[in-house]
Structure 1
Amino acid sequence: MLLPVLPASAQVVSVPVPPSAQVAPIVAVPTIPLPQLTDAQAMQLAALLLRDTLAQGLSLAVPQPMDAAARDQLVRDALDHARAVHAGRLAEADFQRDWGLRPPVFDPLPGFADAVRRDRIAAWFAALPPPYSGYDGLKAGLQRYRGIVAAGGWSALPAGPDLGMGATGPRVFALRNRLAVEDTDVAATGAFDAKLVEAVRRAQRRYGLNPTGIVSTQTLAALNVPATARVRQIMANMERWRWLPQDLPRDRIQVNIAAAVLTVFDGDQPVMSMRAVTGRPGDETPMLSSTIHSVVLNPPWNVPTSIATKELWPKEKKSPGYFKRNGFRVIDGTRLQQKAGDQSALGRYKFDFDNAFSVYLHDTPSRAKFASFSRLASHGCVRLEKPADLAQLLLKGDPAWTPEAIAATIDKGETVRARLAKPVSVYLLYWTAFASGNGQMNFRDDPYGWDATLAAKIEARSASQLVAAR
């Protein structure tokens, strides 16, 4: 999934903070007095809150009647809503360690007071959400899928043999009805014909599955995810958008962890994309942002203690000589290092960036996994399908690192760190729901269970805020 171009008209600018920074608390003590609303402004603000809390995937009650105390509470509710829409609903305590992104600190009171003074409350509201078309696509998808839920959702398809071309019967009828909820081009009746094959393929592409046109176990499971779960999935992804800075660097690298895809942006335009292998459940690839500062050619692998203890020492014990056969040496009696070369788990390229999780992008001698549609198999680092292409792109323009110089260094087998003349921002993100250019929603599995966890935290924070408001 590609992040869209940021609109030049984005009105809200915030300064991103490092992962260690504290998120602004849900309830902040105002630094200036609450602005006093006119009758018309109070009615307008109440209407905006009522409409926008659902649209933004949040929940909030508007106090009634609108006496003086209720108006002050309405202002506090508006400020709380502004923080949630602009910088996320979560508090610092809600973030897991491997959710290494943090939203910018945001105090909505000065902007709101100015909007009241100039009678521009609606414009202030409109400028609160993240200024990305990707967020707007999710917002539209949220409205659509809430409508699907309100209409009764969809029924789960019964289990049975795989369905493909020529199949008939009640399960094909049920399949057509199920697909038609999300795909208006699907007719309600008919056998499993060529048009239905294409409809199944469209659905499989939306779910990140191999587009075979045959409904087997994985496709059935994706179709049977309830519409209510899809709503919560969209809400979770909207929250993650709020954790990003208001202005993403125009030159950057992004990895969608859930989809296991890397994309390079040059001047805010995607110029390279490749498959990746990301962390398997239990060895999750963290969400984070950093800066790639160098490419290591022919990198040795300093084996993490956990991997050495759980996986490699048992192999040596079971088959003496395993270390020697695979290029490992023991350092200080305990630490393992695998020498650079064709056997190295890091391959011939490693892309370094500072982070608290000791992860990086790298090559791999194991290429088979890139052909799979499910590519969560690493210990947390990100393996790349085309690392040589990425290295050449990042080092382009450096006279010391022409493609020929890179190839010559690789061939010599020497370990060399090539510093980037222009470091490049890198974002490891977890997108499981996103809209295509035509507005069609796409979903991926939630392999780490982060969607469900995040949606529950959003709901809990919204509920606690509602109780506090009362």
Structure 2
Amino acid sequence: MYRSAIFATATLMTVSTGVAQNAPQSILPPAAKPAPAPTPQVPVPQATPAAPQAQAAPVPVVAPSVPLPQLSPEQAKQITAMLAGGSFAQGLRHEASATPPPADNDGLVRAALDYARAVHAGRLATADFQEDWGLRPAAYDPLPDFAAAVQGNRLARWIAMLPPPYSGYDGLQKGLTAYRAIAARGGWKTLAAGSDLVPGAKGPRVRALRQRLAIEDKSVEPLGDVYDKELTAAVQRAQRRYGLNPTGSVATQTLAALNVSADNRVKQIMANMERWRWLPAELAKKRIQVNIAAAVLTVFDGDQPIMSMKGVTGRPGDETPMLQSSIHSVVLNPPWNVPSGIAERELWPKGAGYLKTNGFKVIGEGPNKRLQQQAGPLSALGRYKFDFDNPYAVYLHDTPAQAKFASFDRLASHGCVRLEKPADLARLLLQGSPDWTPEAIQATIAGGKTTRAKLPEAVTVYLLYWTAFASANGTMNFRADPYNWDGILADKIEKRSAIQAATIAR
């Protein structure tokens, strides 16, 4: 079966000026190739238009007035086999369901349609989505294709074509099987807290570290209590898999990543598989994708990454939403119209002196007054703002605060995405515009006047949340779940699956 390989965005650890950095890297093969799993990267789904669109009801299965296909005995066996293990294998259930598939024709067909809708377009119902999960699948009616498959005796192909057509999903499915097996064997023991473990250390904590690493990394020798060069290299491999600074020493962050349970890793994989199911069959050829969790932006032309940079995304409490939209213009020398909530919490209390010194102007009077920070070197938006329509009032922008880009933890904004190299992105997006040559852009920036530069062609932008993905050799990679969305989503998947199973059984 053909599987499209869609690029994701990884964080490759490098060292620059003595400080470990995250350098985005693309490592998936070109699209028209069969299903190799993606590597340490972060996938790119397409979402809804700017505002979250309505999703099909969870399983209206089929209206009673619509005649359901009649299955032959052999077809009934195929569907029964699919339902018996499919929900578990596709990450629609955390625990294997003990409920047997329906025995009657109509019940079996309804269960098959429910399964198809969940695997192809997501398990969640409209009510299950959080407000900031603006990435939604299109409505999907499996009945026409299912009926045709029954009539043409092509059920095996129909079943095979249900999952998302992306190798990234395939890699997660294999990872789900592997981590469920680890969890079934008891997972791993929690490593005890204590002083940092560093090369040269000895003792029982080092032995426990070896045993823990060996569960995910078969090249690690589990015996011994010496922190030698081989163990240092194993720790660095683990740190790269978790998106951490590969120091080779085990400090707080590495210990925390190693102590995430195997069961929670299973849930994390389930959540990311569901997000893949929110993808359409095709993505925009020219597109920008931001992995919110890893704080990395990548520009694609087809399946080829042509630019990558670090970002700063929303801190917990000010989450950057998942969404899809189109960048239509770049505002040069943008003023910052301060949201009222930020003004109330963070700026008004600092007093008139602070506001004046930092270029803020009070607009209006009384309860309607608001703050605007004037364009210039102090502006929180820097010199570039990339506008796209969305109901969350977020955008991509420059920033005068550059220090955060040297950090591995780059979740610090109020929800917008700050960019490491906004000038490079502006020049790329404005290529082909006769009015906005690099020289014209620079002259406008230098002049200080706020100016909107319309793109010659709108560019699709995706804000995504990817925390689990497989490398080309099948190794699972994980990132932190700063918004706690993985556990919430996995629980919603499990609950919705149980509701649907009970509905069909009635």
Give the equivalent residue in structure 2 for 1:466: 501
Secondary structure at the residue paired with 1:252? Answer: strand
Distance 1:94 1:30 in 2: 21
Distance 2:217 2:136 in 1: 36
Residue 268 of structure 1: how far off its partner (Å): 2.1
Gap change, CA 1:379 and 1:373, over 3 Å in 2: same
The reply on whether 1:326 has 2:361 as its aligned counterpart is: no
Secondary structure at the residue paired with 1:355? Answer: coil
Give the equivalent residue in structure 2 for 1:134: 168
Gap change, CA 1:227 and 1:415, over 3 Å in 2: same
Distance 2:215 2:378 in 1: 50
Secondary structure at the residue paired with 1:401? Answer: coil
| Cα pair 1:7 1:131 within 8 Å, conserved | no
Aligned residues: 460
Q: What is the aligned counterpart of 1:348 among 365, 368, 383?
A: 383
Give the equivalent residue in structure 1 for 2:152: 118
The reply on whether 1:373 has 2:405 as its aligned counterpart is: no
Residue 174 of structure 1: how far off its partner (Å): 0.9
Give the equivalent residue in structure 1 for 2:185: 151
> What aligned pairs does 1:14-413 form with structure 2 within 5 A after superposition?
18=49, 19-30=51-62, 32-59=66-93, 63=100, 66=103, 70-190=104-224, 191-316=226-351, 320-333=352-365, 334-413=369-448
Secondary structure at the residue paired with 2:306? Answer: strand
Q: What are the superposed Cα offsets for residues 418-445 of structure 1, whole Å, 9 maximum, x if unpaired? A: 1011110000001111112222111111
Q: Which runs of 5+ in 1 are unaligned?
A: none
Gap change, CA 1:298 and 1:160, over 3 Å in 2: same
| Cα pair 1:302 1:337 within 8 Å, conserved | yes
Secondary structure at the residue paired with 1:417? Answer: strand
Secondary structure at the residue paired with 2:435? Answer: helix
Greater mean alpha carbon deviation, residues 228-237 or residues 38-47: 38-47
Distance 1:337 1:311 in 2: 14
Q: TM-score, normalised by structure 2?
A: 0.88
| Cα pair 1:7 1:132 within 8 Å, conserved | no
| Cα pair 1:63 1:74 within 8 Å, conserved | no
Distance 1:160 1:167 in 2: 13
| Cα pair 2:330 2:452 within 8 Å, conserved | yes
Give the equivalent residue in structure 1 for 2:472: 437
Distance 1:65 1:242 in 2: 25
Q: TM-score, normalised by structure 1?
A: 0.95
Question: Which letter does structure 2 place at the counterpart of 1:174?
Answer: A
Q: Which runs of 5+ in 2 are unaligned?
A: 1-7, 10-25, 36-45
Q: What are the superposed Cα offsets for residues 149-188 of structure 1, whole Å, 9 maximum, x if unpaired? A: 1121111111111111111111111111111111111111
Q: Which portions of structure 1, spanning 4 or more consecutive aligned residues, are displaced by more than 4 angstroms? A: 3-10
Residue 71 of structure 1: how far off its partner (Å): 2.7
Residue 78 of structure 1: how far off its partner (Å): 0.8
| Cα pair 2:402 2:420 within 8 Å, conserved | yes
Secondary structure at the residue paired with 2:201? Answer: coil
| Cα pair 1:16 1:105 within 8 Å, conserved | no
Residue 104 of structure 1: how far off its partner (Å): 0.8
Question: Which letter does structure 2 place at the counterpart of 1:321?
Answer: G
Question: Which letter does structure 2 place at the counterpart of 1:451?
Answer: D
Q: What are the superposed Cα offsets for residues 114-171 of structure 1, whole Å, 9 maximum, x if unpaired? A: 0011111110011111111111111111111111111211111111111111111111
Gap change, CA 1:61 and 1:27, over 3 Å in 2: farther
| Cα pair 2:330 2:455 within 8 Å, conserved | yes
Distance 1:8 1:46 in 2: 31
Gap change, CA 1:16 and 1:162, over 3 Å in 2: closer
Residue 62 of structure 1: how far off its partner (Å): 6.0
Residue 469 of structure 1: how far off its partner (Å): 2.4
Distance 1:65 1:198 in 2: 52
Secondary structure at the residue paired with 1:400? Answer: coil
Residue 401 of structure 1: how far off its partner (Å): 1.4
Greater mean alpha carbon deviation, residues 363-372 or residues 267-276: 267-276
Distance 2:194 2:358 in 1: 46
Gap change, CA 1:199 and 1:50, over 3 Å in 2: same
Residue 20 of structure 1: how far off its partner (Å): 4.0
Question: Which letter does structure 1 place at the counterpart of 2:343?
Answer: A
Distance 1:65 1:156 in 2: 42
Residue 396 of structure 1: how far off its partner (Å): 1.4
Question: Which letter does structure 2 place at the counterpart of 1:359?
Answer: V
Distance 1:388 1:256 in 2: 20
